[in-house]
Amino acid sequence: MRVTLVAVGHRMPAWIRSGYEEYAKRLPPEIRLELAELKPEDRGAGRPADRARALEGERILAALPAGATVYALDERGRPVTTQGLSVMLADWMREGAQPAFVIGGADGLSDAVRERADKLVSLSALTLPHGMVRVLFAEQLYRAWSILAGHPYHRD
C-alpha cells in the first residue's frame, strides 16, 4: 500500500528531512510513504495570497495519485487521534486504498483543494510549521502501524 504526502514547500532544513526520513524508513515494506514536494509560489510584494494559493492548489491537484482518497490537513479539520489513525490505516490496508494527505503552503489550501478533499483532518489545533507537519505525520503513521502490529513503540 502507498500513502502519498503532497506538501507545498521544498528545500527543507536538514532536521526536517532527517526526521521525516527516519519515520518513513521505519514503516514496513507493505506501507510505503511517498513525499511529493511542490515548489511554493513566490510571495513577493504585489503578489496576492489568493493567487498564490490558487496556483499552489493547481499543482497539488495535479500531484494527487489517480483514485486516491484525499485528506487535506488543516487545523480547522476534524481532529484525528493516534488510535483513530490506526483504525484508518487498518481500513486502508484491508481495502487496498491509496490515501493521499495534503499539506498546503504558507497561505493554506485553495478552495479547489478543499472541495476535492474527501476529508479535512487536523493533526493539531495548533498552527504548526509546514515542515514540522511532515515529520509529525510520518511519526504518527509509524505509530499507527505500531499499534496494529502490537509493537511496543506506542504505549497507552
Structural domain boundaries in the chain: 2-149
pLDDT at 71: 98
pLDDT at 41: 93
SS3 73: strand
pLDDT at 97: 95
Contacts of 95 (CB under 8 A, 6+ apart): none
pLDDT at 140: 98
pLDDT at 102: 98
Backbone angles phi, psi at 54, to 5 degrees: -65, -45
Task: Note the CATH number of domain 2-149.
Answer: 3.40.1280.10
Tens digit of pLDDT per residue, the chain (156 long)? 999 999 999 899 999 999 999 999 999 999 999 999 999 998 877 788 899 999 999 999 999 999 999 999 998 899 999 999 999 999 999 999 999 999 999 999 999 999 999 999 999 988 899 999 999 999 999 999 999 999 999 887
C-alpha cell at 124: 493539531
pLDDT at 82: 96
Query: How many angstroms separate the most distant Cα atoms in the chain?
Result: 53
pLDDT at 155: 83
Distance of CA 120 to the CA centre of its chain: 11
pLDDT at 47: 83
For cell 504558507, name the residue.
106
